Amino acid sequence: MDEDQVDDRGPGRQRDLGISSDDDSMGEGEEGVEESEEVSIARRRHAVIFLCAQQLSLALISLQTVAQSAALVATNQLDNSLPQPYHTSILTGHGWVLELLQGHPDRIHAELGVRRHVFLNLEEQLAIFLYTSVIGLSVRHLGE
């Protein structure tokens, strides 16, 4: 704006625009402008600090999430990597069969050639066959 602007109150009066005609003196308007600039700078600094704090918070949350994920993966790997013993038998006979039934699922297949559920089904059929053989009854009589 121009220094010679006319005030609304009358002709010839200079409007107080915060500009002094004397370069060495500081008018009241300039102090207000400087204060508003300081307030503006303070607000911008506050906004920058707030944004930095938010970014730091997000970075910490991300870091915590990565750390928890890594711990979960490590725990799962550890649980899955603990081996179940395979050759542990010191038994013979019935104890050995029970150990096969209660042990590693692949071991009963390796030792007997069948899976656990197949062995249990065969065991039941064998028991029925042996009972039939010992009793000496006819198949017709056993069927009833």
Residues constituting the chain? 144
Q: Are residues 112 and 69 in the same domain?
A: no
Provide the percentage of residues in the chain whose pLDDT is more than 90. Answer: 22
According to the model, what pLDDT value does residue 91 have?
Answer: 72
According to the model, what pLDDT value does residue 137 have?
Answer: 77
CA atoms of 30 and 32, how far apart (whole Å): 5
98 half-sphere exposure, CB direction, 13 A CA radius: 6
Confidence of residue 29 (pLDDT cuts 50, 70, 90): low
Residue 68 CB coordination number (10 Å): 10
Taking residues 38-48, what's their average pLDDT? 91
Q: Which of 35, 60, 81 is the last residue of a domain?
A: 81
Residue 88 lies inside a defined structural domain of this protein: no
Residue 130 lies inside a defined structural domain of this protein: yes
- Determine the residue type at 33: V
Give the domain range for residue 115: 94-143
According to the model, what pLDDT value does residue 78 have?
Answer: 77
Confidence of residue 16 (pLDDT cuts 50, 70, 90): very low
Name the one residue in this structure whose structure tokens are 């692949």: 106
Residue 89 lies inside a defined structural domain of this protein: no
- Is the pLDDT at 72 greater than 50? The verdict is yes
Taking residues 41-60, what's their average pLDDT? 92
